[in-house]
Amino acid sequence: MLFRAEITVKLKDGMLDPEATTITKALKHLGFECRSLKQASVFELEFEADSRQNATEVAQGMCQRLLANPIIHDYSVVLE
Amino acid sequence: MLMKIAILRFGGSNCDLDVQKALNNLGVHAELVWYKEVLEGFDGAIIPGGFSYGDYLRAGAIAARTKIMQSVQEMAADGKPVLGICNGAQILSESNLVPGTFTLNQYPKFICKWVKLLKIGRSPFTSLSSEVVKLPIAHKEGRYVVPPRLLKELYENDQVVFKYVDDKGCPTSAANPNGSQDNIAAISNLEKNVLAMMPHPERASEKRLGSLDGNAVFESMIRYIKSL
């Protein structure tokens, strides 16, 4: 079966995010005040799997083995 | 038998030839090994700097998952010395060969400058090094991050090898170029035979480069190989 997954990888809460700080400042220059700002990487994938459960496991495997670094990242998987 | 050190090359590696020249200057045979080749018959390995795979995803992430890195894991498990410099250090952390990770600098920009480093503890890569050395850094993702509970263990196990310091040898925040935790610039594995360092010793290996301090890292590594 073909599955579509959306994987989001973002920095763990409390991790310093220098890019987000810079973006927040740039928004401020444009008149937008943000109390907080987080950025994340989103991966949209299509792949074959035997079942929904299998597809979830495959996507989580991708995160654990490559897409996320467990020291600094949290990730979430949404299957369509 | 003649000592042979491997210098790994990935797409986007650089300073590989500089490392080779530094080793040759010390009378050691060093071979460049493309990542698709077989890593066999070497007494030690060095992963040089650069921007392997364009630093896509995270610096070092893609190179860390190549087949040749499995051979590096085996070399490390055999107790042979493995040195990662800059991008090489990022590859070693992405390979879980050293604890923690190197991520985007606190000020998210590429930095290229000379730094002072204080030697901490005992490492086979610094046995011949002075207490304070001067080496260049050149990176955008060099901020060392490690979970706080692990940091304590790193000190207990003597795994912190170099720290960024000021002219007086103090690890101040002003002397910290990238926001690294505890000013850490180089970290080793528990067994000490794997070292990940952000500064470039090969760029301080000849008088005309401005410092000779980097040679001590290679000389220490060579001495360690001879002791095995």
- Chain B residues touching A72 at Cβ < 8 A: 101, 103, 145
- CB-based contacts of B163, cutoff 8 Å, min separation 6: B117, B118, B120, B171, B182, B183, B184, B185
CB of B96 closer than 8 Å to CB of A65: no
3-class DSSP state for residue A78?
strand
CB contact under 8 A, A16 and B105: no
Q: How far apart are CA B85 and CA B204, in angstroms?
A: 13
- B-chain residues within 8 Å CB-CB of A67? 57
Name the residue of chain A whose CA is nearest to B90's CA. Answer: A69
Q: Which CATH class is domain A2-79?
A: alpha beta
Residue type, B194: V
Q: Average pLDDT for residues A49-74, to the nearest whole number?
A: 97
Nearest to B90 by CA among B103, B76, B78: B103
Q: Say whether B146 and A18 touch across the interface (CB within 8 A).
A: no
Mean pLDDT value of segment B166-191 = 98
Q: Specify the residue for token string 């000190």.
A: B155
Nearest to A18 among B58, B65, B107 (CB): B107
Give the pLDDT mean for B196-212. 97
Inter-chain residue contact B57 with A67, CB threshold 8 Å: yes
CATH number of the domain at B106, please: 3.40.50.880
pLDDT, average across residues B62-88 = 98
Task: Give chain A's length.
Answer: 80
Longest CA pairwise span in chain B (Å) = 48
H helices present in chain A, as ranges:
18-29, 52-62
Q: How near does any CA of chain B get to the CA of A80, in Å?
A: 24
Per the listing, tokens 């000849």 go with B206
**pLDDT tens, position by position, B107-124:** 999 999 999 999 999 999
Contact B61 A66 (CB under 8 A): yes
Instruction: Chain A: give the shortest CA distance to residue B209, in Å.
Output: 32
* Nearest C-alpha in A relative to B61: A66
DSSP state of A74: E
Query: Is B179 close to A16, i.e. CB distance below 8 A?
Result: yes
Q: Which residue of A has its CA nearest to B60?
A: A66
Q: Tell me, what's the pLDDT at B179?
A: 97
State pLDDT tens for residues B14-43.
999 999 999 999 999 999 999 999 999 999
- Name the residue type at position A28: K
Nearest CA in chain A to B179: A16
* pLDDT number for residue B52: 96
Q: Looking at residue B184, what is its pLDDT?
A: 98
Q: Does B147 touch chain A (CB under 8 A)?
A: yes
Phi, psi of B101, rounded to the nearest 5 degrees: -150, 160
Q: Counting beta carbons within 10 angstroms of the beta carbon of residue B146, is it exposed (0 to 12), middle (13 to 18) or buried (19 or more)?
A: buried
Give the pLDDT confidence of A1-51 residue by residue, as tens digits. 999 999 999 999 999 999 999 999 999 999 999 999 999 999 999 999 999
Structure tokens at A79: 């299957």
pLDDT score of A41:
97
- Give the ipTM: 0.87
How is chain B classified by DSSP, letter by letter?
---EEEEEE-TTB-SHHHHHHHHHHTT-EEEEEETTS---S-SEEEE--B-GGGG-SSTTTTGGGSHHHHHHHHHHHTT--EEEETHHHHHHHHTTSSSSEEE--SS-S-EEEEEEEEE-S--TTTTT--SEEEEEEEESS-EEE--HHHHHHHHHTT-EEEEEE-TTS---STT-SS--GGGEEEEE-TTSSEEEESS-GGGGSBGGGTB-TTHHHHHHHHHHHHH-
Q: Which parts of A30-78 fold into alpha helices (H)?
A: 52-62
Q: Are strands B101-103 and A40-48 parallel, antiparallel or unpaired?
A: unpaired
The residue range of the domain holding B157 is: 4-227
| Number of C-beta neighbours around residue A78 at 10 A | 12
Count how many Cα atoms sit within 13 Å of the Cα of residue B43 in the half-sphere of its side chain.
16
Kindly tell me if the per-residue pLDDT of B85 is higher than 80: yes
- pLDDT tens per residue, range B140-178: 999 999 999 999 999 999 999 999 999 999 999 999 999
List of chain B residues whose C-beta atoms are within 8 Å of the C-beta of residue A19: 104, 108
Q: Read off the pLDDT of each residue in B193-217 and give the average, rounded to a whole number.
A: 97
pLDDT at position A80 is 86
Overall average pLDDT of the B35-60 stretch: 97
B1 has pLDDT over 90:
no
